[in-house]
Structure 1
């Protein structure tokens, strides 16, 4: 099973001296990038899970409704929110969607699992930092879903052969053919491959001059859309199964 997931979060990077990008513009960039992802998923009839950064939940209400109406899962991404902020966002979103939010993803700051269980989350999908040296730092990890404190803990996927993780950076820099081979080989050994990308990776950095490392600009924007489109075409051609996180876990 292939689990496609997307993190919706604003770009935090500063701008280069000749350009200023307001918070409103950053939000619009995230919204436009997410809509581009949705168009590609619709073309290939693939359902995915979208992890919305907690502070954006109320600001992107219409986008969240659109994502959910297309059959995708809405979950949360906790960047640095307090437990109260997570609870408020969960209640607010569940009320206007009339659906339960089951999943949450965390990276640098992690709320204790006991507290997440009290907020009635069902699964946690934690991720690590991804930079140019990341693929060489951790070569072994558990790739099985485990139950802890009443929560399903979903680990990041890692190729058992290349030892590369399936994070946002690896997808961005690897040639499409190599990435496809990696997915194919991993599914021979593991039950699932969890793929996650960030909405900001689909930004046109020639238009919006953020001050980010050169390697983060490679294959971004339209090239990122093309890579996702090519991967989904290949998956459908090979008749590989895809799923939303909540459907696969439960």
Structure 2
């Protein structure tokens, strides 16, 4: 099974040469990038899980409606929000859209699992930092879903052969043929492959003067759209199964 997921969050990078990029502009970039992702998923009739950063959820009601209306799962990505803030946003979104938010993803700040369970989350999908040296620091680890404190803990996927993780950076830099082989070989060994990408990777950095490392601008923007399209085309040609996170876990 392939679990395709997207982290919907504003790009944090500063602007180059004293240029100004407002919070509203950053949010618009996030919305436009997410709409590009949705168009590609629509073409391939593929469902995914969208982890939306908690601090911008309330500003994205129209986008959430578009995501949910296409049959995708809405989950939360917590960057630095408190338990109280998460609880309030979760309550508001569930009341507004009539759908339970089951999953949460964390990276730098990891809140206690027992507290997340009290907020009625059903699963946690934590991820690690990804940079240019990150793939070389990985060690083999368990890739099976476990139950802890009443929550399903979904680990990051890692290739049992190359030892490369399936994070946003690896997808961006690897040639698609190599990445496809990695997915194919991993599914021979593991029950699922969890793939995640960030919405900001679909930004056209020639249009928006963000100050980001060269290796992060590589294959970004339209090239990322093409890469995602190529991956989904290959998945469908090989008749590989895909699933939203909540459907697979429960």
Q: TM-score, normalised by structure 2?
A: 0.99
What runs of 5+ residues in structure 1 fail to find an aligned partner?
Answer: none
1:201–1:220 contact (8 Å) kept in structure 2:
yes
Query: How many residue pairs were aligned?
Result: 250
User: What's the counterpart of residue 217 of structure 1?
Assistant: 217
Tell me which residue corresponds to 1:185.
185
Is 1:149 aligned with 2:159?
Answer: no
Instruction: Give me the whole-angstrom Cα distance separating, in 2, the residues matched to 1:127 and 1:89.
Output: 22
The alignment yields a C-alpha RMSD, in angstroms, of: 0.5
5+ residue gaps, structure 2, are: none
Structure 1 equivalent of residue 15 of structure 2: 15
Contact 1:139 1:164 in 2 (8 A): no
CA displacement at 1:18 relative to structure 2: 5.0
The answer for the alignment partner of 1:98 in structure 2 is 98
Please give the secondary structure, in 2, of the residue aligned with 1:4: strand
Q: Distance in 2 between matches of 1:207 and 1:129?
A: 26
**Who is 1:113 aligned against?**
113
- Structure 1's consecutive aligned runs of 4 or more residues displaced over 3 angstroms after TM superposition are none
Secondary structure, aligned partner of 2:77: strand
Contact 1:117–1:150 (CA under 8 A) maintained in structure 2 = yes
- Counterparts of 1:1-250 in structure 2 under 5 Å? 1-17=1-17, 19-250=19-250
> SS of 1:211's equivalent?
coil
> What is the SS of the residue equivalent to 1:52?
strand
Task: Give me the TM-score of the superposition, normalised by structure 1.
Answer: 0.99
CA distance in 2, matches of 1:89, 1:236: 36
